[in-house]
Structure 1
Amino acid sequence: MNADTIEGLIHHELPAAADGDHGAYSRIVAGCQNAITGLALAIVRDVHASEDIAQEAFLRAWQNLRRLQNPASFLPWLRQITRNLARDHLRDLRHGPRAVDDAEAMIAAAADPQPPPVEQLIEDERQRVATELISALPDDSREVLLLYYREGQSSQQVAALLGLSDATVRKRLSRARATVRAELLARFATFACDSAPSAAFTALVATALGVASPVASAAVVVSALGAGAVGSGVGKLGVGGVGTGVTAGVAGGAAGGGLGFLVDAVVHYDWVILAGIGGTLGAYLGSRYLLRFAGNDTERTAIRGFIHGITATSAVFCFGMLLLVVLTHGWVPISAFAIAGMAVINYQYLVPLPRIMAPCFAREAQRTGRRQPPLTYQLTCGAPAVWISSVAALAALLYALFTSGRL
């Protein structure tokens, strides 16, 4: 996507996004994610941290979008948010963890004396190489080079995304080529492309949008959750299955994931089989976000167990709802089953999951100095996300029952 296309996308989608359209904002995220993660990576020199920072930047921008008067200011504003968050991250690292965090991390380490698995050693080596490659570049050329290789080696594209002149970009590229060995520059080019965010990045941001801003109405929730994870959606399937299925994996189980499926099932059950498959698959794929926090085999096994459990529960909920829609009349059976399903999956997120993730976040606290889990995790898997999405789901249930004539 070239710079003109991105600017056009922002101008076209931003008014709708400011009015709460998750799908519109998700498309903006998809267009800007290379630039924003690249900015964060150039500063923090850590791929995982840069994606966390970029996700947080997109969410903060979303929360304050109504304050933006001019669409042309969006990208410069978002860049500044990203740079501030990245510098805060480095400041936290320099100050080190607080005593409480350090003690918790020591307890977690003592409780799990197993050596790091081979996969963790490989990941640590990749991170070391990434840090060395970025550190070898001139300070003012890191952002330019990352985007240059990620954006098809177009200096004009980089200039537009960074708010610089083409001459400035070319000058910084020339300086980098003059001071960095050709072999190292080639390795950096490969690294820049390989570390670029995938479509899963957009999906993770999209899942958090519903709980990162006030809920306007049940109708808005239904359309936004469905469209948020997969762009505009694909008719009823987009609203009812795949879109909210991703939300199911990381935003409160049935409270979020069954929401679109539920409304679609009550009103249009001709598509619910595909919706159920999409919702269950989305729950599984979305939950795998949690695996990035695992640091050893014990944690990885526990998280996988949670993923399998939440996926199975989502499948039972989706297809149980299908049977009730087809075989029953009225609102009582559907309402009772929906509330029971929400209770079961919310329990999984509120009780077992925090216990499973505690050692992971204790280790992250020791490494980064942050006392709280990443914002993306809090807005998709934390208690606030569960309760807010539960309220939204109940409101959408009432809306669906009413519009279908069952209530």
Structure 2
Amino acid sequence: MSPSEVPPTTLTESDFMRLFLKHELALRAFARSILPNWNAVDDAIQEASVTMWQKFSQLENEAGFLPWAKVILRFKCLNAVTGLRRDGRLLSDEVLKQIADESEAIEAERVTEIRSALQDCLTQFTRPHQELLMAPYQGDGQITKIANSCGKTVNAFYKLLGRLRAKLATCVQQRLQMETS
């Protein structure tokens, strides 16, 4: 079979989910560079993910996912900005497009470095502390469930979570500084 006869690789729904989750942090950072608050980012990510899902068959290979996703997200963000203008004063479209262009220039490597440092730092925590750090991202009520199972107050767990997050942030910053030194 010649190279021209090789059928193109078909990406599956599970490929979409894996790629979306892998690049979600970079997409959120990109959206935040355009949008004024995290609520607007959440809305834009949600709308963009639906569009990405619908158009996923157009993607030719996995390597092109992030640039392709950023284009879709960029349009959703700019549409959101139009809606937000009605509520208050925002930057001009030209300035927002320039910010988006500069944000895109941030290498995916940096996101990978941050993710790697985060994973390394998480391993330094005990299993229960790792679970507590991840609880807010696993759905509503997780911290309450953990607190109830341990017989402690939810407030106590939120205070502990704040301390753990501060230690995790310090660790990640130190690792990133070591990599750039």
TM range (shorter): 0.3 to 0.5
TM-score where L is the length of structure 1: 0.22
Larger radius of gyration: 1
